[in-house]
Amino acid sequence: MKNSKFIDQFATFAGKLGNQIHLKTLRDAFVTVMPLYILAGLIVLLNNTVFKWIFQGDTLTRFQYWGITIANGTLSISGMIIAVMVGYFLAKNRDFENPLAASMLSLVSLIVMMPNTVSVVPDGAKDAVNISGVLSFNNTGTGAMFAGVIVAIIATELFIELSNVKALQMNLGENIPPAVSRSFSVLLPVMTVISLFGVVSALLFNITGMNLISIITIFIQEPIRHIGTSLIGVIIIYSLGNMLWLFGIHQAVIYSAILEPLLLINITENITAANNGQAIPHIINLSQIQTFALMGGSGSTLCLLIATFLVSRNAVSKNVAKLSF
């Protein structure tokens, strides 16, 4: 009786965790942008292996330029892309009537939190110089993905709350085109959220000399990712996920919501490092897990089937294994 009650409670908790709106939003957002990362990975492979085998000198440079432009449009702005997607899907999961406005606001809020000046070392120079009026790929790419997620969630939640305040809604009448009416109805909430992020950005710079992206990366993104994607962390999370099969629940409710976004960030950083000719920083990533931990399906089903065929003497188990195979 007690075991049955525990199983029911655990199954309920796992179901709620998988359907938690912010985790569900992350899953939807990262799945949507997955084709971009697959393309970027293929481009980096071509640029750093195939093209180098075939071409040399100026010809190699000309062919690699094609790959670099695609990498700039995918990996190098991945932080901005994920902010747009998180804002859109969070608003959609909240049943907000204007998710496009939320996605736009998420992108603008992220840019507002970026530094006004960027330190770079010009070609042929030894000392760094500060440049204003530019966005650095360090602040728009893989290093900003976690910041993009956090900023998008906060901006969208504030935006939705303020949009429900009647005092902030502007009604232009019935004869106004719907697109114009929707735009003006959220005008004050949009202005308020962007202004609040601007205040936070200015305070952080004047008090700490840092920007929000740097703070999130140093104090939040890296500790969480190192713990969650470490060998011990992956084993614990997957072990808990596999236990859900005992209750008839797919482990994806834990895996896809918690671990997959972190592992995907590892992939994007690996691709960026390979594109820059650097050592690959993360052994544990999404591709590695799918290849070695999920052979044949969740929980290495292929290994289970082989073991069943080899040593099982139970006819029912073998029949089920044949059906699965």
168-178 confidence digits (pLDDT tens): 887 766 777 77
- Give me the pLDDT at residue 155, please: 97
Range of the domain at 133: 5-294
Supply φ then ψ for residue 280, to 5 degrees.
-70, 120
83 closest CA partner among 139, 21, 1: 139
Domain count, the chain: 1
Asked if residue 322 is part of any domain, the answer here is: no
Whether 304 has a pLDDT exceeding 80, the answer reads no
111 HSE (CA, 13 A, CB side):
13
Asked if residue 310 is part of any domain, the answer here is: no
Asked if residue 166 is part of any domain, the answer here is: yes
Asked if residue 57 is part of any domain, the answer here is: yes
Higher pLDDT, 242 or 87: 87
Please, what is the end-to-end C-alpha distance for the chain in angstroms? 36
Query: Which residue shows structure tokens 């309920």?
Result: 12
Higher pLDDT, 65 or 244: 65
Sign of the Cα pseudo-torsion (41, 298, 220, 90, in order): positive
Asked if residue 320 is part of any domain, the answer here is: no
Asked if residue 97 is part of any domain, the answer here is: yes
Asked if residue 83 is part of any domain, the answer here is: yes
Higher pLDDT, 105 or 18: 105
What pLDDT digit, counting tens, does each position of 132-141 carry? Answer: 888 888 889 8
Lowest mean pLDDT among 25-39, 96-110, 272-286: 272-286
Give burial (CB, 10 Å; 0-12/13-18/19+) of 281.
exposed
Q: How many residues does the chain have?
A: 325
Asked if residue 32 is part of any domain, the answer here is: yes
- Give me the pLDDT at residue 251, please: 64
